[in-house]
Structures are given as structure tokens and as C-alpha cells.
Copies of this chain bind each other. A is one copy, B any other.
């Protein structure tokens, strides 16, 4: 029996670190994105995604505009709204969302089909291009949104729409004769079907998800077959030389051992694999998930939790290939990594997965959105020199400043739905065994149903500024409960007190288990000083360099604090790091270090010479990576040369 997250209704976050980001979702991001989706943000890239629905619904005339998966921006926005309404009821917002849902329902075809691109542009092209058409991908996001909206509001209209669509999919796809024996070019519908199946109790949706997973990469590749059919219409020019690895269809999923291809596709697939491994008690599938997780997180992940290092095709490359200045590391890929890790944690009850989830959430996911909630990164570099981030070059995907919106539907609403659902990452619960797992150190008050008891838990902390956590549990079940406290990988000297008394126990699978017989207060403290980190020497890009972390936060140098030419800096690791609380970025700890830097500017001097550049001592200031790029355009650097 897997663990599950708390319903968002039952958790109220009021945290010194996260609230300023999470609160942005309802106060700024959701309204802002509504404007963006209506093309009302000046100087932002055009969206047109609501207009596409209006056209498909017959309310407006016109042509489809945007990526073929443009509908997903609406879907992810509605999912974020669903999550938000669960925590913070808001009549006006609900009305707005109900209106969007009415629109979707009107755009739904008689047989249940929803997709504005194919409805408007290619009504005869349905399901003829699973490789590039993104119909199933789009369906999955709509299903996820419908489930979130149902859970957040109790309203079934959207859910019912999506059940009709899912029923159509069940009739259309499958192993049976007469059905299409294909699978999605971009995985996601599997997640949507699983959620829809769980919330409605309709096993056939899970069965279809299982079909998609089982069929993938088996026998002749579906996409290569599809491409060779007469009339096959190419959509994405970059997919000219299509490799099945791109969509993880190169091998049956159970035989895959390395994270390959488009990173977002990959992690969405792995999420579904994990869910299905648990649902069908499929040990082989779970082993495949574990193997893929290990490969991805131990050989192909940036220290920031970024994955997918190639700018071309947004994909994984090879073990230890993690260049810093031209990487991709899409925000959505780290979101998917967190979703996969969450599932693996809930299935295996191993805290190691949450170490990676935390790394992704605190660094890459959070870096994806500006502190004001109004601009976003799609790509998350670890080193930026703005003049070199030029259009039409090998670094064209790297942006030195966040963009207001993206013509290609994707990251901004994905970040919104992730922040809006942060509550699902904090705890995991085993109702049967009356066990509560504390995974993230985020202040909150929660009502936790443990069988017939509603236990009230209050977690207070100033983490990651300070490494104290207090957990007050009231209305503990009469039979007692187990509280599993995650010991993060970076903790030294982890101590636990229960009602003021030291509680010494060895962690198992990364958790200290506290058996609680009555209402109590648990205090946790751990040492986690700021530290220098080295990459595995196989990572060529980081040779001779160090990164700085404090708790789960990666730090970086910015031009705003350290001047230009950050590459010309080296840090003296022997002299250590000084922690300096600061009001910068709301409230943070800056890290000061000693180092050296090249003296002066050298533009206009000769290009190559025998004279070693002169160095001078300098004090360095590092800031949390998630906050970089909030002070105008400038250089940024995570991996700093070490002075030896």
C-alpha cells in the first residue's frame, strides 16, 4: 500500500521561505496568466490559447494559432486554479474558471474529443500523428486539470467532460483488433488517465494507461511506422531525423536502464510507470523505475536538480555530460523529476527520493519564476554571460532574463500548478499503519485523517534559514501513531527531542521514526552548514570547480554582487563560508567567501599572450540560485573555479 499526499484542503502553509512564492500563485500568477492567455500582456509573446477554444466552440471565427499543444496552457492554469481553490476558496476566481470550463465543454466534440488544433485545423487528421500531434499529451493535462478542479471545488462538470474524452480514448486505443495500437509521442495522458481512474474508480482508465506503457517500444516502432504512411504531415522541423530514443520508444519500458531523449517526456513516462507499478503490483516495472531514477539522478542531473542537458531537442545526452553554459534543464523537466520522486518515495518509503525532490523544487523549479511572479525561465543555465546568449547561435536557448510569456505553451503554468500544490510534497501518510512521513520542512498546520481520528499537526520552522523544526501533534489516535522524520542528505548531527527529551534512534531509509502515544511536541535540529561541493570527476565541465550549497539551496555568484567576468574568479575553499542573514530577496542568508579575481578589464587588449593575468584578493558574495536574475541582466555562475 503506497503512501499518499494530504488533500490540499487539509494543509495550510504559512512559511517564512515558501509563502512568498506560493502566495504569488493566487495573488499574481493565476491572474497574470489569465491575462497572458487572453493576450493582454503588453510586449509578451502571443498565446491565443483561449481564443483557440472559442473558435473550436464556435463562439468565434478565426484560425488556430500557437503550438499544436497550445490547449495545455489552459489545462495547467485550470489545474493550478483547482489546487489554489482547494486551499483558498475564491468565488471570483472560481467563476472565471467555471467560464473556461464551459468553453472547453462547448469545444468538446459530440464523441467526447477535445483538441482545438485538430478540431479547427485538421478535423480529418485525428490520431494520424501521435508522434508530433500531441493530442494524447493535451488530453492528459486536461484530465489532470479536471481532477484537480473536482478535488478543489467538488464540481463535476469538467471531470465528466474528461471522462467522456477518456471513454473515447478507451474505445480508440488498445490491444484489441480495430483499435489503434499506438501510444503517445509525448507521454502525459497516462498520468491523466491514472488520476481520472483513481478519482472515479474506473479501472478501465488505468488499464488504458497500462496499455500505453506496455505497448511503448515493443516491436516495430509505432512512430516510424506512422511516419511512413502516405500523407503523414510533419509538424516539428527539428524532428526531421527522428530517433525513437527521443520519445523513450526505443525499447520496451521495462528494459530501459538509462534516461534517454526529451527530458520532460521521460519523467512524465516514469511517473506513470511508478504509479502503475504500484497499482498493478508490477515488480519488474518498479525495478525499471529504480534503475532509471539512479541513472538520471546519479549521472545525468545538475546540482540544481536540472535534467536534460542538450539545448537541441531538450534531451538527455550521456552519463556525466553536464555542461554549464549552454545546458537546457527545462523548468518542466525538474517539475516532472519532482513528480516522479514523489511517487517513488510514496511507493518505497525511501527518503532519498525526497532529497532529489527537494533539490529540484528549491532550485530549478523556483528559479523558473521571478520573485514578482510575472516572468519565467524555460531554460535554467548554471552559467550565464549575457552577451553570448544570442539568437541564432548554439546558445540561443539560454536567456539571461526571465521572459514575460512563451509562445510555446509550457513552463509558466506548469510552475504555477507546482507551487499551488506544494502541500502534496510536505507529508505522506499511511492511514492504515497510522504513519505520518514528514518530507519537507515547510511551516504549516494540517488536519490528518488517520482512520477514524483527525490528527492536527502544526509544523513550525524557519528552514532553510535555520535548521530547527518543531512539530506539534494533537488528537493523536488512541492507539498511537508513527512519525517518520526525514533526515536530509546534507544533515550532520541530526537530533530529535520528544516533549523535551532526547530521542536517539538510527534513521532507516532516511527517516527517524518516532512512535507517539499521545499528543506531543517533537523538536528536530540538524547541523547543515554552508558547504562546498565537488562534482564527480567524470563530469568534465566541473573539473577544478566547486559549487556552494546551504541546506537544499544551491548558491551562485551574480554580477550584481561580484562584478563582471565571474569566470575570472576563483574561490578559496580553505577559508570557508560565512553566513550573512540579509533582507535581500525578501529574507535570505547570503554566503561570503574569500577568493581572487582577475584585475581590471581587458577588452581591446591582445587575444593571446605569455603573461599570466594578474589576480587580486576579493570577497565574494553568493546568493541562492532560485533568486538569480531578479536584479536585471548580468552574469551568473554556479560552478566556481577553486583556488588551490
Binding site for B on A (CB under 8 A): 237, 240-241, 243, 246, 297-299, 301, 303, 310-313, 315, 317-321, 323, 325-326, 385, 387-388, 390-396, 531-541, 543-544, 547, 565-568, 570, 573, 598, 601-613, 641-644
Q: How long is the Cα–Cα vector from A76 to B396 in the complex, in angstroms? A: 33
3 A-B pairs closest in CB distance:
A540-B567, A310-B393, A543-B567
Chain B residues in 8 Å Cβ range of A540: 325, 385, 388, 565-568
Whether A539 contacts B613 in the complex (CB less than 8 A), given A321-B388, A644-B643, comes out as no
- Asked if B392 and A246 sit within 8 Å, CB to CB, the answer is yes
- Asked if A241 and B567 sit within 8 Å, CB to CB, the answer is no
Show 12 residue pairs from A and B whose CB-CB distance is below 8 angstroms, ordered by the A residue: A298-B606, A303-B608, A311-B394, A318-B387, A318-B390, A325-B540, A531-B610, A536-B605, A537-B568, A540-B568, A543-B567, A543-B598
Chain B residues in 8 Å Cβ range of A323: 325-326, 394
Which one, B393, B535, B541, contacts A317 given CB within 8 A? B393
Closest Cβ–Cβ distance, residue A387 to chain B (whole Å): 5
Chain B residues in 8 Å Cβ range of A543: 565, 567-568, 598, 641
Which one, B532, B536, B598, contacts A602 given CB within 8 A? B536
Q: How long is the Cα–Cα vector from A603 to B536 in the complex, in angstroms? A: 8
Q: How long is the Cα–Cα vector from A298 to B604 in the complex, in angstroms? A: 8
- Asked if B608 and A392 sit within 8 Å, CB to CB, the answer is no
A554 (CB) vs chain B CBs: closest residue: B608
Chain B residues in 8 Å Cβ range of A321: 385, 387-388
- Asked if B538 and A610 sit within 8 Å, CB to CB, the answer is no
Q: What 11 new A-B contacts, CB under 8 Å, besides A243-B392, A323-B326, A536-B602? A: A237-B237, A297-B607, A310-B392, A318-B387, A319-B387, A319-B603, A385-B540, A536-B608, A536-B609, A537-B565, A537-B602
Chain B residues in 8 Å Cβ range of A570: 544
- Asked if B531 and A317 sit within 8 Å, CB to CB, the answer is no
Q: Secondary structure of the A side of the interface?
A: loop
Copies of this chain per assembly: 2
Chain B residues in 8 Å Cβ range of A612: 534, 573, 642
Chain B residues in 8 Å Cβ range of A301: 607
- Asked if A533 and B317 sit within 8 Å, CB to CB, the answer is no
A328 (CB) vs chain B CBs: closest residue: B394
- Asked if B611 and A534 sit within 8 Å, CB to CB, the answer is yes
Chain B residues in 8 Å Cβ range of A532: 610
A566 (CB) vs chain B CBs: closest residue: B540
Chain B residues in 8 Å Cβ range of A241: 391-392
A546 (CB) vs chain B CBs: closest residue: B612
Which one, B385, B393, B605, contacts A315 given CB within 8 A? B393
- Asked if B391 and A394 sit within 8 Å, CB to CB, the answer is no
Chain B residues in 8 Å Cβ range of A387: 318-319, 321
A644 (CB) vs chain B CBs: closest residue: B644
Chain B residues in 8 Å Cβ range of A318: 387-388, 390
Chain B residues in 8 Å Cβ range of A315: 392-393
Closest Cβ–Cβ distance, residue A323 to chain B (whole Å): 7
Which one, B541, B544, B601, B607, contacts A539 given CB within 8 A? B607
Closest Cβ–Cβ distance, residue A325 to chain B (whole Å): 7
Question: For A297, A539, A544, A613, which residue has the most chain B Cβ atoms within 10 angstroms?
Answer: A544
Question: For A303, A325, A536, which residue has the most chain B Cβ atoms within 10 angstroms?
Answer: A536
- Asked if B613 and A537 sit within 8 Å, CB to CB, the answer is yes
Closest Cβ–Cβ distance, residue A258 to chain B (whole Å): 12
Chain B residues in 8 Å Cβ range of A573: 612
Closest Cβ–Cβ distance, residue A383 to chain B (whole Å): 8
Closest Cβ–Cβ distance, residue A640 to chain B (whole Å): 10
Chain B residues in 8 Å Cβ range of A394: 310-312, 323, 326, 394
Q: How long is the Cα–Cα vector from A312 to B393 in the complex, in angstroms? A: 5
- Asked if A641 and B317 sit within 8 Å, CB to CB, the answer is no
Chain B residues in 8 Å Cβ range of A603: 319-320, 538
- Asked if B608 and A547 sit within 8 Å, CB to CB, the answer is yes
- Asked if A390 and B317 sit within 8 Å, CB to CB, the answer is yes
A643 (CB) vs chain B CBs: closest residue: B644
Closest Cβ–Cβ distance, residue A362 to chain B (whole Å): 15
- Asked if B533 and A396 sit within 8 Å, CB to CB, the answer is no
Whether A534 contacts B313 in the complex (CB less than 8 A), given A385-B540, A570-B544, comes out as no
- Asked if B312 and A533 sit within 8 Å, CB to CB, the answer is no
Chain B residues in 8 Å Cβ range of A392: 241, 243, 246, 310, 312-313, 315
Which one, B240, B299, B396, B606, contacts A607 given CB within 8 A? B299
Closest Cβ–Cβ distance, residue A26 to chain B (whole Å): 35
Chain B residues in 8 Å Cβ range of A396: 312
Which one, B534, B566, B610, contacts A533 given CB within 8 A? B610
Chain B residues in 8 Å Cβ range of A541: 567
Q: How long is the Cα–Cα vector from A326 to B243 in the complex, in angstroms? A: 22
